A and B are shown apart, each in its own frame.
Chain A
Amino acid sequence: GNSVTQMEGPVTLSEEAFLTINCTYTATGYPSLFWYVQYPGEGLQLLLKATKADDKGSNKGFEATYRKETTSFHLEKGSVQVSDSAVYFCALHQGGKLIFGQGTELSVKP
């Protein structure tokens, strides 16, 4: 069946470090792909999306490229801030529902 796998956390970085959170998926067809972010005690916020192969989603300095050949959608940011500390979820959309990875906790230290 369809599934999403994310790199295990927690990930701890210093401010201004480069961030990569790996995400790979298994799906039939060509699902839309998403990154959501969850701050402590809150719901999920859409961070970025891509709807077809080679699309690049971007928002707030975060980027992810839909790679069909490697079935991946890795999240990157060139310089993280303390305020980026949160849990990040990769998800695919198929058949009306979202299928999420297990989440990756990011902690950014000053």
Chain B
Amino acid sequence: ETGVTQSPTHLIKTRGQQVTLRCSSQSGHNTVSWYQQALGQGPQFIFQYYREEENGRGNFPPRFSGLQFPNYSSELNVNALELDDSALYLCASSLAGGLAKNIQYFGAGTRLSVL
């Protein structure tokens, strides 16, 4: 148990729709990162939020956007869904600063299927 919770666990959408995924970070953690894991692949970094601001972004188009709230929970929004967006979306929380700053703890993920 990492203390990182994601919702929903599964989601089915159709092409062109919009989706919002949610993540509650581990208690005391102030940084949230989002990753996309396609079937049979390693996770790919989407972006990171720290103190409610985007703090780094991977090679994903602008239709992938996010938010972080004052309680450090986070949302990932994807607009204009495409078939290739079908994947497991993982949220990871961490604590910026200190010896533990490089350790990210993952939730169980949200499985998104786009039909």
Contacts and interface: CB of A to CB of B under 8 A. Distances in A.
A42 B108 contact: yes
A101 B42 contact: yes
A20 to B, nearest CB: 19
A97 B41 contact: no
A43 B48 contact: no
A5 to B, nearest CB: 11
Contacts of A95: 56
How big is the A interface, by class? 20 to 34
A13 B94 CA distance: 34
DSSP class of A's interface residues: helix, strand, loop or mixed? strand
A102 B90 CA distance: 15
Contacts of A99: 45
Contacts of A4: 42
Interface residues of B, number: 26
B102 A51 contact: yes
B45 A97 contact: yes
Contacts, number: 58
Interface in B70-115: 90, 92, 102-109
Nearest to B46: A97
B27 interface: no
Contacts of B108: 42-43
Contacts of B102: 32, 49, 51, 93
Contacts of A91: 42
Interface of B: 2, 4, 6, 31, 33, 35, 40-45, 48, 55-56, 58, 90, 92, 102-109
Top 10 A-B residue pairs of the complex, sorted by shortest distance between their CB atoms: A100-B42, A44-B106, A43-B108, A97-B45, A43-B106, A32-B102, A93-B102, A43-B109, A96-B56, A102-B42
Interface of A: 4, 32, 36, 42-46, 49, 51, 89, 91, 93, 95-103
Given A36-B106, A42-B108, A102-B40, 15 more contacts: A42-B109, A43-B6, A44-B90, A44-B106, A45-B2, A89-B43, A91-B42, A93-B102, A95-B56, A96-B31, A97-B48, A98-B45, A98-B92, A99-B45, A103-B42
